[in-house]
């Protein structure tokens, strides 16, 4: 049924979305109207005549979601609950249990409880699998099971969960939750301030400015702004955060769209806090969107040295457009270009490979910063100083995506004791236990070489090679599988960094993780050393 709907309604649904969005293709109005009429009659006849009872709402939801999947991952249909979650995410305030959660088919997993908030007070830990909220089993809920965790202030909810194979229950009293854009800032040594900017919600500029002023009052004469793992957020906040360090009237970002009204130049509009203080910005492969506007434009304007690893590469801008019945379409309306004129979009969603995956940009164009330094487009923000431990690779990404690192950290927490954050040390023996954990898990990572071999040998040409070659091929695949564990050693630095971060959050929350970073993080230590070398800092920006 879903395949029928997907194939037959793709074009008309696109037409509806474009019409609602106020399409500029007025010359195609007849074609749009035609496709809408075709879809309307199809949808009516399908629901009236199909052999079994249909659910019109579910069919439409499937049609819309399948259609949008063919565009880009940021263009989404938001139902009424999604709209509310979108507002909460941008505002940084909501009422609930105070934890990051991930929803699965039959459970909701606690990813990170916020220190001092209801989930933490009730004893919930990262890795706990919620199977029941109140009297409702998660397995009986089709979508948005985590919404049941939200509710009015001072209301309670009983939660049944599984921890290390044992079923437990607890009562959580909901509270007003404030999600800080700046969860941590502190002095490093006597003259360097460190600020973590974790997201670009409506509090981003206000809290970054407050942190900057407090650090300056404490004697900071140099600043490290940490945007690692920051997924982005509000465009206006990105511009205003940049404005803290550059003068009023400076061009930060330009947006370009096929719809003229979305073409805009965004310049700073406020008086800055400090345009002279030496500044280093930290980024990594999970720094995206608004994080890349800030880091990219500060790099283009030669206002900061960028340290870390190439950022994610999201140069697309979305805007929520109101639909009927309280729903919205969050649609990609334009590309953004940093101060030098470059777009850092990494994936081309409008050109796909044979597997339907977006093609990654491999050809980059050169641009010039304000001082004439070379920068490039098309692949995220490339740091001025790269840090090996901050880089991403397919194996580490797969370990994170498949929750192998997360699950290992859960087991580590319940089988080890760490009394003091500064005493924590992840030893070679610990990494050996991680490799053993991976070997016994269901983790399945297919390399490009394996994929290519399987495609060749499963195609029509495989009959040409005969049994001897086929057996050699199987032996080669088996040997490649055995050698995958060796790849863990190859990427040990990157993998261990992620392991340490996940483990430290279990014992000491985010605050403890940042305390540990100040003493042990390679990127922070590199940034601190750079800021203490005035000549090297100045030479990079020249």
The residues annotated as belonging to the active site are 289, 300, 314
* Backbone torsions φ then ψ of 167, nearest 5 degrees: -85, 130
Kindly give, in sequence order, each residue whose CB lies less than 8 Å from that of residue 49, ignoring residues fewer than 6 positions away.
none
Half-sphere exposure of 538 (CA within 13 A, CB side): 4
The C-alpha atoms of residue 378 and residue 342 are separated, in whole angstroms, by: 8
Sequence-ordered list of residues with C-beta below 8 angstroms from that of 112, at least 6 positions apart, any chain: 99, 100, 126, 505, 510
| Other beta carbons less than 10 A from residue 448's beta carbon | 8
Choose among 169, 190, 234: nearest CA to 208. Answer: 234
φ and ψ of 316, to 5 deg? -110, 140
469-505 burial by CB neighbour count: b if 16+ within 10 A, else e? eeeebeeeeeeeeeebeebbeebbebbbbbbbbbbbb
Q: Phi and psi at residue 221, in whole multiples of 5°?
A: -115, 0
Q: Of the candidates 531, 424, 422, which has an alpha carbon nearest to the alpha carbon of residue 188?
A: 531
Residue positions counted in the chain: 542
Burial of 258 (0-12, 13-18, 19+ CB in 10 A): exposed
CA proximity to 531, closest of 373, 339, 385 = 385
Axis crossing angle, helix 56-69 with helix 29-49, rounded to the nearest 10:
140
Which phi and psi (to 5°) does residue 412 adopt? -60, -40
């Amino acid at each position: 049924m879903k395949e029928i709907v997907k194939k037959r309604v793709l074009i008309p649904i696109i037409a509806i979305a474009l019409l609602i969005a106020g399409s500029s293709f007025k010359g195609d109005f007849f074609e749009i109207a035609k496709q809408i009429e075709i879809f309307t009659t199809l949808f009516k006849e399908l629901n009236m005549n199909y052999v079994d009872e249909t659910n019109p709402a579910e069919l439409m939801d499937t049609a819309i979601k399948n259609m949008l999947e063919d565009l880009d991952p940021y263009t989404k249909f938001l139902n009424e609950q999604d709209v509310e979650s979108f507002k909460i995410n941008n505002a940084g305030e909501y009422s609930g249990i105070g934890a990051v959660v991930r929803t699965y088919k039959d459970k909701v997993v606690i990813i990170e409880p916020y220190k001092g908030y209801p989930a933490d007070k009730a004893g919930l830990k990262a890795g706990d699998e919620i199977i029941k909220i109140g009297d409702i089993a998660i397995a009986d809920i089709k979508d948005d099971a985590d919404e049941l965790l939200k509710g009015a202030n001072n209301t309670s909810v009983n939660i049944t969960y599984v921890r290390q194979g044992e079923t437990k229950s607890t009562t959580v009293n909901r509270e007003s939750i404030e999600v800080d854009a700046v969860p941590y800032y502190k002095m490093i040594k006597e003259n360097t301030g460190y600020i973590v900017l974790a997201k670009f919600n409506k509090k981003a500029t206000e809290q970054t400015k407050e942190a900057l002023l407090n650090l300056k009052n404490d004697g900071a004469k140099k600043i490290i702004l940490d945007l690692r793992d920051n997924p982005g957020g509000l465009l206006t906040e990105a511009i205003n955060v940049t404005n803290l360090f550059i003068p009023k009237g400076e061009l930060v970002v330009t947006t370009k769209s096929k719809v003229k009204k979305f073409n805009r130049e965004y310049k700073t509009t406020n008086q800055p806090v400090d345009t002279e203080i030496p500044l280093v910005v930290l980024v990594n492969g999970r720094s995206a969107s608004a994080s890349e506007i800030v880091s990219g434009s500060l790099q283009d304007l030669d206002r900061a040295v960028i340290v870390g690893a190439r950022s994610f590469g999201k140069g697309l801008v979305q805007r929520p457009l109101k639909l009927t019945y309280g729903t919205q379409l969050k649609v990609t309306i334009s590309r953004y270009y940093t101060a030098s004129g470059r777009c850092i979009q990494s994936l081309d969603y409008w050109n796909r490979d044979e597997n339907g995956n977006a093609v990654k940009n491999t050809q980059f164009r050169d641009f010039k910063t304000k001082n004439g330094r070379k920068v490039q487009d098309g692949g995220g923000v490339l740091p001025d100083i790269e840090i090996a431990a901050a880089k991403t690779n397919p194996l580490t990404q797969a370990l994170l995506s498949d929750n192998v690192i997360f699950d290992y950290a859960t087991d580590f927490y319940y089988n080890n004791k760490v009394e003091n954050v500064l005493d924590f040390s992840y030893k070679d023996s610990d990494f050996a236990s991680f490799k053993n954990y991976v070997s016994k898990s269901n983790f399945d990572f297919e390399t490009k070489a394996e994929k290519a071999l399987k495609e060749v040998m499963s195609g029509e040409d495989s009959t040409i090679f005969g049994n001897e070659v086929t057996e050699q091929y199987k032996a080669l695949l088996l040997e490649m599988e055995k050698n995958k564990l060796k790849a863990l050693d190859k990427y040990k630095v990157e993998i261990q960094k992620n392991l340490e971060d996940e483990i430290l959050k279990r014992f000491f929350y985010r605050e403890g993780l940042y305390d540990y970073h100040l003493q042990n993080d390679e990127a922070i230590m590199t940034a601190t050393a750079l800021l203490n070398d005035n000549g090297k800092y100045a030479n990079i920006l020249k």
